[in-house]
Structure 1
Amino acid sequence: MLVKPDFLSWTLQIMDFRKRGSSAKTQITDMNGNEPNPGDLIEIFRKGYKHWAVYVGEGYVVHFLGPEGSISSSSTINLPIGKNNVLKQKLLEVVSTDEWTINNLHDQEKQPRPPEVIVNEAHKLVGTTRSYNVVNYNCEHFATELRYGNAESEQVEEAVKVTLGVTGLSITVGVLIVAFLVWKTQRSSSN
């Protein structure tokens, strides 16, 4: 049986970790080499959207999934979603093979709540069910609400801007076509 070098390397790392004992701290860094602090927002780059979580320390995040777990990586699909959709999991399990970064996106204009408040509230919500709505209350709303005290989603805001832009352009083109047809009809009638 041929063993891939990646798997062999991973197995050796696990064995080395076990030799050192489970008390050894594994450093967790994002794609920029930064280590998260409790209360930080974690942005995970999925295919076609971003998933958000709140780092609560010791390698764990609290995050909010849709009722079917559909807004998740393959690593979280088999969780007991029917019982709850606010979960505490290892950050690296939630990230799976996707890239991620620390993104406290509103810190420039808003005062974040103290880390201990963010973490305590996040822990209180673990195992609860919240009403998920991709537009009105999604994983980003959940994470920003914990950090700043109010729910916002830049993904939704950007999608609305794009939709309004496309709709506005479509209406403008439609009006121009109708105006052209009316003008052409009037011109044909007067000849």
Structure 2
Amino acid sequence: MAPTLFDEKPEIGDLIEIFRGTYQHWAVYIGDGHVIHVAPSNEQAGGGAYSMMSMLSDRAFIKKTELWDVVGTNQYRINNLLDDKYEPRPAHVIQREAQRQEGQEVPFSVFQGNCEHFATELRYGKAESRQVHHAVEVGVGVGVATMIGVGVLAAAAAIFGSGRKEKKREN
């Protein structure tokens, strides 16, 4: 039988990426079947449409939760996405820092202080969010493409529009 996503067992300090449809929720495995993660106070275990609304919150709590309670019916994977860029902190440091922060209320921002920022800072000591980087790149790409499209349309209108005026003058 081929291995599935759920066959891989996390180790202390592993980043857990949970697929919630339109976004990913991030947590850090801290042992004994538990993760630590940051979630707005109205975040529902297991995600869902209600969790998407929690993105509008500006405050969140650092929570220690059983992995399966956070995953719910969603798929997840271990994704230590920045291991090629940064050295992971030692497992005992991650555990100690997770215990120190558990239960704290913190500012929450989708763009500057989300669950992925929290997880990467705990693992690497650097807060980064690839989701935000990707969203910005897509947004900039769409903006540039729109500007180019408008520019091309304006140029075409100028070229072809002036031709019509010249034809009218000839008649």
TM over 0.5: yes
Query: TM-score range with shorter-chain normalisation?
Result: 0.7 to 0.9
* Cα pair 1:63 1:88 within 8 Å, conserved: yes
Q: RCO higher in 1 or 2 (8 Å CA, sep ≥ 6)?
A: 2
Q: 1:121: Cα distance to partner? A: 0.6
Query: 2:33 aligns to what?
Result: 59
CA shift digits 1:62-120 (9 cap, x unpaired): 0001243269626x97xxx9x96110010111111111111111111210111111111
TM-score by length of 1: 0.76
- Structure with greater helix percent: 2
* Cα pair 2:19 2:76 within 8 Å, conserved: yes
* Aligned ranges 1:1-191 → 2 under 5 Å: 31=5, 33-69=7-43, 73=47, 85-191=61-167
Letter in 1 for 2:32: E
Change (3 A) 1:151 1:71: farther
Query: 1:26 aligns to what?
Result: none
In 2, the alpha carbon distance for the partners of 1:89 and 1:135 equals 24
Equivalent pairs: percent with the same residue? 39
Q: Provide the secondary structure at the position in 1 that maps to 2:5.
A: coil
Q: Provide the secondary structure at the position in 1 that maps to 2:87.
A: coil
Q: Which runs of 5+ in 2 are unaligned?
A: 52-56
* Cα pair 1:63 1:139 within 8 Å, conserved: yes
Letter in 1 for 2:137: K
In 2, the alpha carbon distance for the partners of 1:32 and 1:71 equals 18
RMSD, matched Cα: 2.4
Q: 1:40: Cα distance to partner? A: 0.8
Q: Provide the secondary structure at the position in 1 that maps to 2:105.
A: coil
TM-score by length of 2: 0.84
Number of matched pairs: 158
